[in-house]
Amino acid sequence: MKFSELAKDAETLAKHLPVAAVKLRGHDVDVFRIAAGDILYAVGKAPALLDAWTEEGEGRATKIAEALSSAGLDVIDHLIAAGLKATREEVSQFELDLSEQFNILNAILKHSIPDELLEKVHAGLANAGLGFGETASAD
């Protein structure tokens, strides 16, 4: 087998394997990594999410909650649907409460964005002047 075939199979397989499970109304529900497009969609609609994802420690939960509350249901439903491999309609019909939404989103985000990539994305957005973290100096 060619390495390129093996790599392709591994990538395809990884997309279909759960990375975590969350308790939801007494059941363990599988959580999957979300695609880069889903992340970009969310950050485009709610730029504060990027800072929240990179926050460490106790303040992270608060920042995520604040960013998501300003993001709107469209972004929340989009991310949850992507991370649960469900449709947005299924997510909306299930009527998740705030705690359920947060637990699911926390698991999705924790397992979807590698730290190295997050740092690069964060730096790139800062350099573009989009107000994320420190901006590059204009010498």
Say if strands 27-31 and 20-24 run parallel, antiparallel, or are unpaired.
antiparallel
Q: What's the CA angle centered on 135, arms 120 and 67, to 5 degrees? A: 70
The 10s digit of each residue's pLDDT in 71-105 is 888 888 999 999 999 999 999 898 999 889 888 98
pTM over 0.85: no
Structure tokens at 113: 């964005």
Report yes or no: 101 and 108 within 8 Å, Cβ to Cβ. Answer: no
Sign of the Cα torsion 96, 82, 71, 127 reads positive
Report yes or no: 60 and 49 within 8 Å, Cβ to Cβ. Answer: no
Q: Check residue 56 and report its DSSP letter.
A: -
